[in-house]
Amino acid sequence: MSNPSTAMNLEQHHHHQDPEAYTTNNNGAVQFDSRKALDDDGRPKRTGTWVTGSAHIITAVIGSGVLSLAWAIAQLGWVAGPVVLMAFSFITFFTSTLLADAYRSPDPVTGHRNYTYMDAVRAHLGGRKVQLCGLAQYGNLVGITVGYTITASISIVAVKRSNCFHKEGHGADKCHVSNTPYMAIFGCIQLVLSQIPNFHNLSWLSILAAVMSFAYSIIGLGLSVATVAGGDRKGVRTTLTGVTVGVEVTAAQKVWRTFQAIGDIAFAYAYSTILIEIQASSSSTYILPSSYLLH
């Protein structure tokens, strides 16, 4: 027979949350089916949908990294810029496809679930490769975190400087603002938010972030179009090779800005790092076999 404590806990967990877990017998009585309250791995049934999954993906792809893409393309030019952009998009697509197939093992459809990137590496590669991929993953996550911290502080400082320029004029010395305090504040906020339990279940947060991502992306696109449309009247010039050495920048600055632009474009593609977690939150079409709940 089924485990009473397991069924009771599941019923309490899914009360008013999962109507499919309740069935009606021949007498018209409503019964709780604990099998339908569990996924195929024995964990509480996942509630993620294509809407929440899309919100997670949009938030990751159209994140703050898009804010620097216009500047990056301006540095690389109309030839190298789109080429680098497409190259990183292909890399992201390829790695995402591999990760999607690696979520379950050994079969990509009915196999055992791998809940994290490290679980997938351990299941498919094993050995020392787990440690090596772990170092690569955490190094990537640290780099992304640093990038977001810097981007957030620069954005805050840009707003403060803009307000100061409107009040004091563009030549005012008092409008110089340091990024360091805002980096520290942003980092402290992240430390506090990271302590929230089940933070990954706040799907509304990703939906809100997706809306905001679309909003500032559209604003940035509109400003870029308006700036280019101004032409020579605003001193705007676009070239096939980016900024010109000897006119706008020195040779050393050109090299530095080129690598910085490539880094900005790479930073904008941070989607594949959370793909496994997105899949782990999505609902499953499989029902746990009844034998799982038997003694």
Confirm if 117 and 273 have CB atoms less than 8 A apart: yes
Letter string b/e over residues 194-229, b meaning 16 or more CB atoms within 10 A of that residue's CB:
eeeeeebeebeebbebbeebeeebeeeeeebeeeee
Confirm if 26 and 7 have CB atoms less than 8 A apart: no
Residue 29 lies in a domain: no
Question: How does pLDDT run along the chain (295 residues), one tens digit per residue?
Answer: 444 444 334 444 444 445 555 555 555 555 545 556 677 666 777 777 777 777 777 777 776 677 778 888 888 888 988 999 999 888 888 888 888 888 888 877 778 888 888 888 888 888 888 889 888 888 888 887 887 888 788 888 888 888 888 887 776 677 788 888 999 999 898 888 888 777 666 767 777 877 887 888 888 788 878 877 776 555 556 678 888 877 778 888 888 889 988 988 887 776 667 788 788 777 765 444 444 334 3
Residue 4 lies in a domain: no
DSSP assignment, residue 45?
P
Burial of residue 41 (CB within 10 Å: 0-12, 13-18, 19+) is middle
Q: Residue 67, CB half-sphere, CA atoms under 13 Å: how many?
A: 15
Distance in angstroms (rounded) separating the CA atoms of residues 46 and 2: 21
pTM tops 0.85, yes or no: no
Residue 10 lies in a domain: no
Confirm if 215 and 221 have CB atoms less than 8 A apart: no
Supply the range of the domain harboring residue 116.
38-293
Residue 5 lies in a domain: no
Residue 13 lies in a domain: no
Distance in angstroms (rounded) separating the CA atoms of residues 27 and 136: 59
Residue 14 lies in a domain: no
Residue 232 lies in a domain: yes
DSSP annotation string for 119-149: HHHHHHT-THHHHHHHHHHHHHHHHHHHHHH
Total domains in the fold of the chain: 1
Closest residue by Cα to residue 276 from 135, 108, 146, 136: 108
Closest residue by Cα to residue 283 from 18, 24, 101: 18
Residue 26 lies in a domain: no
